[in-house]
Structure formats: C-alpha cells, structure tokens
Amino acid sequence: MSITKKFYSLVVAVLLAFSNTSHATVYDFGNLLTASSGYTAPNSFESAPFAQLSATDNGGGVWSFMLSINNNLFSSFGSSAFIGSMSFDFSPDPFGQPVSTFIGSNVGGVNSVSSTNGTGLSGLTDIDFGTKFGQNSGNRLSQNDWVQWSVSGLTSVSSLTNMYLHVQGIGTEGYSAKYTPIVTPVPEPETYAMLLAGL
C-alpha cells in the first residue's frame, strides 16, 4: 500500500473513531443573571470563572454532566457559599420531568442529586428542569468540589440551549445569585483533532 493510501486510511479510521464517540462541551460560569434583593453580586469573572460545567450528549435522551467549582468561590462570595442547583433549557422540550442520577464526586463534595422543576427568570425563558445538589453541612457542593451526574428522560435529539447555576449562602446574610456561562461553549481538544483530521 502506498504512503498516500496509508495516510488516507489513517484519516478515515480517526474520523470513524470520533464519529462514534460522545464529545463534551465545556462552559465557564460567571455571567450574572440575577441576585437577591439588596445584594450587589460580583460580575467580573471573565478571566477567572468560579465554576466549569462539562456537558455530554450520550444519545438516546441521556446526558451526563460534571460541575467543578474553582478555588475563587470563597474569595468571591464568602466562606459559606455553595452551589445549590443548576437549571437547564433543552430544545425540544422534554416529554415529562427528566430524572437526575448521581454518578460521583470528590471527598467532601455532595453525595446525592435530585431533580427539580425549572424556574424561568428574566433574561432566560422556558427553563425545563433542574438538578439540585445536597445542601446540608455534610452534603454541599462548595469550593474545589466537583460532582458528576446524568440526566435521562430528554428527547433523542435534544440540544442544550440555556442554563444557570444558583450560588447560595453568600455572606453573613445568606444572599443568593444566579449565573450563566461567560462565553459561548468552547469545544474540547478532541473536536479540533477531528477538524484537523478532516482537513
């Protein structure tokens, strides 16, 4: 086999491998959506997001997520701050109430998740559902913690269009604020590799 044919065979193999693999999309959080009355929430996270979400469409109406909280949560919101929940808008709308299932977390993070109904907010409409993280003192998603979970009950052609996360326990007054991703989703390196292979 010639070198040219070997090269093209390798390219085809790489493309087939990537076409059969789910790819995660990563979102950095720090764009203020709304905050408790009387509280001025920070909105300067462009260079240092306080949380990051990896979202993967596994097919068949099942998605998996990993939410990581960075080491600037406490310096931004106080040492009692934690992430209470996330809410999502998928298109098309789910047929019923999607189900959130716990996969894993780091030591000291949350050990359970549960499903919630969506809550529409000014600036975001048609929020479908949410995932709530444990919120008692021993089951709380906080600084340097991460949690993985899956969501089932979506449509087989679902696409993620909007989302926000809820920061709670802010300051001595226990304020809260909701944040959306800072920028549009950034593809992971595998996506760029697939593009280069195609070229």
The answer to whether residues 68 and 141 touch, using CB atoms and an 8 Å cutoff, is no
Per-residue pLDDT averaged across 175-187, rounded? 79
Strands (E), the chain: 24-35, 51-57, 63-69, 82-91, 99-105, 113-117, 129-133, 146-152, 159-170, 175-181, 186-187
Backbone phi, psi, residue 73, to 5°: -65, -50
Residue 99, strand partner residues: 152
Q: What is the pLDDT of residue 120?
A: 67
Q: How many whole angstroms separate alpha carbon 150 and alpha carbon 168?
A: 23
Write the burial class of residue 146 (CB in 10 Å: 0-12 exposed, 13-18 middle, 19+ buried).
middle
Q: What is the pLDDT of residue 126?
A: 76
Q: Residue 120 contacts by C-beta under 8 Å, 6 or more apart in sequence?
A: 126, 127
Give pLDDT tens digits for 4-34.
444 444 433 433 344 445 688 999 999 999 9
Give pLDDT tens digits for 88-142.
999 988 888 899 999 999 977 889 999 988 766 766 767 889 999 987 877 899 9
184: pLDDT strictly greater than 60: no
62: pLDDT strictly greater than 90: yes
